[in-house]
Structure 1
Amino acid sequence: MRPDEFLRALDLLPTPLHERALALRAYARATHCADCQRIGDAVRLALTAAHYDEFGSAAQLLDAAEQQAAGHGSACRAQPTNQQLGRGRVGRWAGTTAPLVAATDASWKGRAGGIGYVVSDGHYGLRSRGTGRLDPTGYSRVLINELRAVDFLLSAYEEVPSGLTVLLDSLAALRYLHRWQAGETEAMPAGYSLRPRRWSAQPTLVRLAELVSRQPDLSFAHVKGHSGHALNEAADSLSHMARRRIGESFDVRPRAHALVDAFLRDWHSTVPH
């Protein structure tokens, strides 16, 4: 399967399946290894099932591919890991006593996108995104994914930390978050589809709006993009890294970990503890 064919097929998958298929991308390439070929066949069949809206079958085929990949090991190529969550933590910042501050961001170029977040206690996340069939085009697509990045951050917690401040460089996204926090949970960006999702009980932004409306201690603030703010630059870099991962093959985890550590070092050097 050519890289462009794989990317177009990925666009058909809902986010959870999208991430799982992306982690198995290496097996979709031509190979002389019979085991890798079988894994690749399962991935390609999953993408074909998604083309016909058979997402249950696609999930089962990805289950089979992941099980075969785990059993195959890394003898002939690196064993893909399950990066469905795409989250990590730089442990040395876990003991910070300063108030928690996070930043989120999104990146789009062509049909490839990425979202990312970083928290001052070392937590971070990045996730690649394709163009979904329910996504609008143009300006609204960028806005919606800025908000999805906030959902990606907040969904990392069973309970959102009290007093958390979230920084965004998108004023439009910030306005929606403030409206939702004020109780206007029905307000949605233009073109955002409220159709039921097969893979989730609620559309992402509907879930986010309801969550934000129940979090009076959660603060959202604007930060100017590309102004040298360490947390914003980290989130921006993570979202770009996630976007590039769709079209390039590289080990994202060590790069993300080192990047977050460097930016957090800068951040904590300027914050009183």
Structure 2
Amino acid sequence: MRPDEFLRALDLLPASLHDRALALRAYVKPRRCETCQAVADAVRVALTAVHYDELGSAAQLLDTAEQLATRHHHACRPEHQPGRGQVRRWAETSAPLIAATDASWKGRAGGIGYVASDGRYGLRSRRPGRVDPTGFSRVLVSELRAVEFLFTAYDTPPVGMTVLVDSLPALGYLHRWQGGETGAMPAGYDLRPRHAGMKPTLVRLAELVARRPDLTFTHVKAHAHHALNEAADSLAHMARRRVEEPFDVRARAHDLVEAFLRDWHVALPV
């Protein structure tokens, strides 16, 4: 279950169950631990039961999940997610959370990337198939997909997060969505449901941004030696290159992000 799906399902819960399910949110991400997975399964089935107005069953399932979680003490770390990582050195930084996203396209190969000041980073490759929902604005849509990719690195985007974007058209859509224009989409973007009825990426992003006035989206000039922007740009290029030149990016990405974040944190005012 995706974090945004979990949060939407919470809206269906009565107050007596809402906070109980929310407290178990950390278990919902995939984990190798059997106990953590059992907690997650109970929570997911409870949310499904509420959808069918089976509140009694939902309460019993949450009882089971809470008992398992209490005996287990805390959720184990999630399984490794391909394309994502974190430089743990910066995980507990007290500085305001700032992130940068970027996209790269060349021919029929694309890539997106993000890096955050708490050490999280991600990169993802893309090669369009015969039926591509992206539409005419391939680069613009990819820039926005990179923002969504960043946000899904968290159960919910941290309060007050600042996102640096070097695409003015993408920034324009983010500001329009934050202002309530969630129906505004890049030209040609396919709005039909995706696999298993899931909403398109940009639709989910628009709805999230509209609910979060605390998020700040700011323009940063590309290739101006801004450490976070340069890191996101490098990750996006690395992801794009991987489409045509298969190679293991994990070590390269981690070392690259570590170097850029070191420069970023050293430059912060004391």
What is the alpha-carbon distance in structure 2 between the residues aligned to residue 265 and residue 125 of structure 1?
17
1:117 pairs with one of 114, 133, 158: 114
2:80 counterpart of 1:86: no
Count how many residue pairs are aligned between Structure 1 and Structure 2: 191
Rounded Cα–Cα distance in structure 2 between residues aligned with 1:236 and 1:127: 12
Amino acid at match of 2:266: S
Pair 1:207 & 2:204 matched:
yes
Letter of the structure 2 residue corresponding to residue 103 of structure 1: A
Structure 2: distance between partners of 1:229 and 1:125: 18
The offset of 1:254, in angstroms, is: 0.3
1:199 Cα deviation from its structure 2 partner? 4.7
Contact 1:134 1:192 survives alignment (8 Å): no
* CA distance 1:128–1:178, shift in 2 (3 Å): same
Given candidates 132, 135, 152, the residue that maps to 1:134 is 132
RMSD, aligned α-carbons: 1.5
Task: Tell me which residue corresponds to 2:242.
Answer: 245
* 2:224 is equivalent to residue 227 of structure 1: yes
Match of 1:255 in 2: 252
Residue in 2 aligned with 1:70?
Answer: none
* Match status 1:198 vs 2:205: no
- Deviation at residue 197 of structure 1 after TM alignment: 1.1
Q: CA deviation at 1:202?
A: 0.1
Q: Deviations over 1:180-221 (max 9, x none)?
A: 000000000001011121255100000000000011110000
For residues 99-150 of structure 1, what are the alpha-carbon distances to aligned partners after superposition, in whole Å with 9 as ceiling and x for unaligned? 0000000000111100000000100000001114234565x11000000000
1:84 to 1:94, Cα distance in 2 relative to 1, 3 A: closer
Structure 1 spans left out of the alignment, 5+ residues: 1-81
Given residue 217 of structure 2, which amino acid in structure 1 is its aligned partner? F
Alpha carbons 2:135, 2:190 under 8 Å: kept: no
Where 1:104 maps in the other structure, the secondary structure is strand
Give 1:270 deviation, angstroms.
1.1
Residue 96 to residue 84, structure 1, CA distance change in 2 (3 Å)? closer
Q: Deviations over 1:48-100 (max 9, x none)?
A: xxxxxxxxxxxxxxxxxxxxxxxxxxxxxxxxxx9864110001111211100
What SS does structure 2 have at the residue aligned with 1:261?
A: helix
CA distance in 1, matches of 2:105, 2:197: 24
Q: Is 1:185 aligned to 2:182, yes or no?
A: yes
1:271 equivalent to 2:232? Answer: no
CA distance in 2, matches of 1:213, 1:94: 27
1:261–1:200 CA distance, 2 compared to 1 (3 A): farther
Q: Which stretch of the first structure deviates more once superposed, 258-267 or 245-254?
A: 245-254
Q: Is the 1:177–1:209 Cα contact (8 Å) retained in structure 2?
A: yes
TM-score, length basis structure 2: 0.68
Q: Contact 2:145 / 2:202 at 8 angstroms: preserved in 1?
A: yes
Instruction: Kindly report which structure 2 residues correspond to 1:38-117, keeping only aligned pairs within 5 A, or say none.
Output: 85-117=82-114
Shift in alpha-carbon separation, 1:198–1:190, aligned structure 2, 3 A: same
Is the counterpart of residue 166 in structure 1 residue 155 in structure 2? no
- Partner letter of residue 210 of structure 1? E
Does 179-188 or 263-272 show the bigger shift? 263-272
Aligned counterpart in structure 2 of residue 236 of structure 1, from 233, 236, 254: 233
CA contact (8 A) 1:107 1:240 kept: yes
- Give the 3-state SS of the residue equivalent to 1:127 in structure 2: strand
Percent identity, aligned pairs only?
Answer: 70
SS in 1 for 2:110: strand
